[in-house]
Chain A
Amino acid sequence: MPDQTNTAVPAWELRNLTKRFAGIVANESVSLSLERGQIHGLLGENGCGKSTLIKMMMGVHQPSAGEILRDGHPVTIAGPTAARAAGLAAVFQEFSLVPTLTVAENIWLGNLPGHRARVDWQTMRDSATEVMARLAVAIDPEAIVADLSVADQQLVEIAKAIATDASMLILDEPTTALGLEEIKDLHRILRKLAAQDKAILYISHRLDEVEELVDCVTVLKDGRVVSTAAETEVSVDAFVAAMIGEISNHYPKVDNVREEVLLEAKGLRTANRVQDVSFNVHAGEVFGLGGVLGSGRTEIARALFGVDRLLAGEVKVDGQTLRLRSPADAVAAGIALVPENRKVDGLFFNFQGQPNMSISKLARLGSPAAMSLRTEERLTHELYDRLEVSASAKDRLVGLLSGGNQQKIVIGRWLFAGARVFVLDEPTQGIDVGARAAVYTLINELTAAGHAVVLISSDDNELLAMSDRIGIVNHGRLVDIRAASDVRKSDLVRASSEQETAA
């Protein structure tokens, strides 16, 4: 819905923006037009320069060349405060909320209404309520942020961003932590904001959702615009083609299911909401767990891995009942967990890649009292090659690696440990298209080798395409198990709406 009165001059325009860091070009002559009332998608693999571009718009970095125009006039954005004053607001992947304060306090933090040192609480609450009303969401301004769900916190972030009457809202990967319904909600809100004449720049890895949401798309590659808004067709294949340069089958599923059962879960129950969960996974099979965020999928993974104690039920690997008192028991039994949040639960940021991979099975390096670092070097480099970790990533602290390489290293840890049952919780979250393809290929390798995979994913296309069978999870229960080919996307959606009616 383009603005009728002002089509000639876009609300915001980037003209030939270039940014160099010590000789490295992060952005090369990037031009974008951001119209009022439009949701503009920005796509590109990790390292393509999206973050730098946003940081220039938000005044964190100053452009080396080029200019930023507001309503056709060049503006200089000296810093984040200037950016806000100019009407730019950004919601980043990492939340910037203070968890111990209320929603209203967070929204107005740094800009508290009142006179001198005295805060006018009434005005603050009222205006927070008004902002929430503009978003048409029902979040109590008096609620403490830490008590809110991740999705609601995300909405508070957006409320905070629009509270200052920004003319442009930038969202950097806003859906990584959200479930299907919550994403729909967010999209509804963004459309509403667009209808209120805001320009919106929307950055996401999830091609499918961009297709549904945005009005136009710009694709960045190696810091340059490779496909402008006008040229790009709003379709997944077109995005993939522009981003990686070729149209590929991005779900290379191979059927490797064998006869024998490798993992058996029987009547699992934990204090963390898992109720009477039973399923088998065959050797070579990918068993998908579907359902919305918060349905209990991650909790089932935690139960399998010995993180949450089993109150009832048993887990068998290869017919042997496990004594699962801790993750150490699960690891010893050959179970692997690739956690949902690799930064919090997966990686050792004080280590480079090699010790990150060897940590679960140091016994492979020799006696515990005399490890061979040479053996470690050799074994982990074999894994690097197998996982196609980029050469520059090999001798760096893992914090400096791309999401894709980080995830490869977490998966590499379990290959190193010789695990046989792989529980993958959102394995492709926040990684680029190339690394995704590598993860899918790896899943195929695992099943070809006769390993069992339990796949949890909020990306429905991925879940349906990569699984052999799917169990639908609702309120910590496994409500249905079907062959993946018999499950439609709408079934997953329905499972979630049923949950809403139940709740």
Chain B
Amino acid sequence: MNALLRSPIIAPLAALLIVTAIAALTTPRFLDTGNLSNLALQVSIVAIVAIGSTFVILIAGIDLSPGSAIALLTMIFAISVKFQGIPLPIAILLTIALGAGLGAFNGFLTAYLRIPAFITTLAALSAFRGMAFLFNNGSPVFSVHDALEGIFYGTFLGLPLPLYYLIVLYAAAWYVLRYTAFGRAVYAVGGNPNAAELSGLKVRRIQFFAFMIAGAMAGIGAVLMAARLNSGSPNYGVGLELSAIAAAVIGGASLAGGRGNIINTLIGALTIVIVQNALNLNAVPTSVQTIVLGAIIVTAVGLDMWRNEIGNVLHGLAVTRPKS
């Protein structure tokens, strides 16, 4: 068990170190303190959304909707603070709760109505963004609140606040997956839903909650996104779901479910963001950056497939004796 939950951290960590080394060697300003703190800010939103993606991938689902959910949630958040005068702390909690609600909707369709997750969240990807454009005539809402930017750009003990959010959320996710009955059930349901059902687990409820967690993470991501630019916009979060899924998969989560590790997801998110950051510093155009992200995703998913192939080969060698 210990070995399983520790799961191979070596490969993603090696990838991260290689990417970091290349970035440091090729990009003079990469190791500047300013840039490093900038990196922490950049990675925070992707990494938090990726927590949700990991939970959903662990139950053998997929969530394509968090980017669009974030757009919708920043609009609602910005409007409720700026135009409805709802106090900031309450608006933040409401936004996270609403995010959980959007996730619960995906979860309901997937777990209880048995519509494949790819379809429900693809529909949500489209629908949530459409809804975002329904607010404020489809225009962004700027200058939401004076105190808002502090949530994102503030520091504590000289370190950016988002770093603390990351640490707290990742520690919580790690604890949940490792030390709670729910976390164990998440792995079991993703590993073999039939066996999970026949072992007495409430499979659909577990799936439902995984999507709800993903929604709540999108809610937190939306608050940070709004704080980052002190605004809400229906155009926020485009493609974020891809980065989040890529982070989980680069971290070694299997899209077949049941295999993956939250700390590795953080490593995956860092890898992606460092690549983007290095490309930025070298003034590589956005178009090329998105191509590189595509290449990273293909490589990562490819590795996921190959890992099974390689595993099978090793398995074949190992198994010739135990199983005749």
CB within 8 Å of B: which residues of A?
19, 21-22, 24, 26, 44-52, 55, 220, 305, 307, 326-328, 330-332, 337, 339, 344-352, 354-355, 358-360, 362-363, 365, 368-371, 373, 376-377, 395, 397, 399-403, 413, 417
Contact = CB atoms under 8 A, between A and B. Distances in A.
A294 B190 CA distance: 30
Nearest to B319: A400
Contacts of B319: 400
Nearest to A353: B1
Contacts of A362: 181, 184-185
Contact of B1 (A26, A47, A332, A355): A355
B190 A350 contact: yes
B197 A327 contact: yes
B322 interface: yes
B194 interface: yes
Contacts of A369: 179-181
Nearest to A365: B181
Given A327-B197, A359-B199, A348 B1 contact: no
6 contacts: A305-B198, A344-B195, A346-B195, A349-B192, A351-B187, A373-B2
Nearest to A348: B191
Contact of B184 (A326, A327, A371): A371
- SS class, residues of chain B in contact with chain A: helix
A337 B187 CA distance: 21
Interface in B179-212: 179-182, 184-185, 187-188, 190-192, 194-202
B95 to A, nearest CB: 26
B315 interface: yes
Given A352-B1, A371-B180, A47 B323 contact: yes
B113 interface: no
B288 interface: no
Contacts of B33: none
B157 interface: no
A366 B88 CA distance: 39
B322 A345 contact: no
Nearest to A405: B322
Given A355-B4, A395-B3, A350 B191 contact: yes
B322 to A, nearest CB: 5
B198 A345 contact: yes
Interface of B: 1-4, 178-182, 184-185, 187-188, 190-192, 194-202, 257-259, 315, 317-324
A352 B4 contact: yes
Nearest to B5: A373
A354 B1 CA distance: 7
Contacts of B320: 19, 21, 24, 26, 49, 51-52, 55
B188 A330 contact: no
B324 A48 contact: yes
- SS class, residues of chain A in contact with chain B: mixed
A413 B199 contact: yes
A46 B199 contact: no
Nearest to B189: A348
Contact of A330 (B185, B200, B315): B200
B26 to A, nearest CB: 38
B179 A370 contact: yes
B198 A402 contact: no
Contacts of A370: 179-180
Nearest to B1: A354
A412 to B, nearest CB: 12
A373 B1 contact: yes
Given A359-B201, A373-B2, 13 more contacts: A46-B322, A55-B320, A327-B199, A328-B201, A345-B198, A347-B195, A349-B191, A350-B258, A351-B188, A365-B181, A371-B180, A373-B1, A395-B3
B323 to A, nearest CB: 6
A399 B322 contact: no
A362 B206 CA distance: 15
Contacts of A48: 324
A50 B200 contact: no
Contact of A347 (B192, B197, B317, B321): B192
Contacts of A51: 320, 323-324
Contacts of A344: 192, 194-195
A402 B180 contact: no
Contact of A331 (B4, B200, B315, B321): B200
B321 to A, nearest CB: 5
A105 B68 CA distance: 46
Nearest to A347: B195
A403 B323 CA distance: 7
Contacts of B315: 399-400
A413 B199 CA distance: 8
Nearest to B192: A348
Contacts of B192: 344, 347-350
A52 B319 CA distance: 10
Contacts of B202: 326, 328
Contact of A348 (B178, B197, B258): B258
A368 B181 contact: yes
B322 A402 contact: yes
B188 A47 contact: no
A169 B97 CA distance: 63
A339 B198 contact: yes
A397 B4 CA distance: 8
Nearest to A26: B320
B4 A345 contact: no
A376 B1 contact: yes
A399 B311 CA distance: 11
A307 B321 CA distance: 36
The 5 residue pairs across chains A and B that have the minimum distance between CB atoms: A331-B200, A350-B258, A350-B191, A368-B181, A50-B324
Contacts of B317: 21-22
Given A47-B323, A350-B258, A352-B1, A332 B191 contact: no
Contacts of B1: 351-352, 354-355, 373, 376-377
A363 B184 CA distance: 12
A360 B113 CA distance: 25
A351 B4 contact: yes
A45 B324 contact: yes
Contacts of B199: 327, 331, 359-360, 413
B259 A355 contact: no
B310 to A, nearest CB: 15
B120 to A, nearest CB: 23
A94 to B, nearest CB: 12
A400 B318 CA distance: 8
A368 B182 CA distance: 7
A66 to B, nearest CB: 16
B321 A401 contact: no
Contacts of B180: 368-371
A363 B317 CA distance: 38
A345 B194 contact: yes
Contacts of B194: 344-345
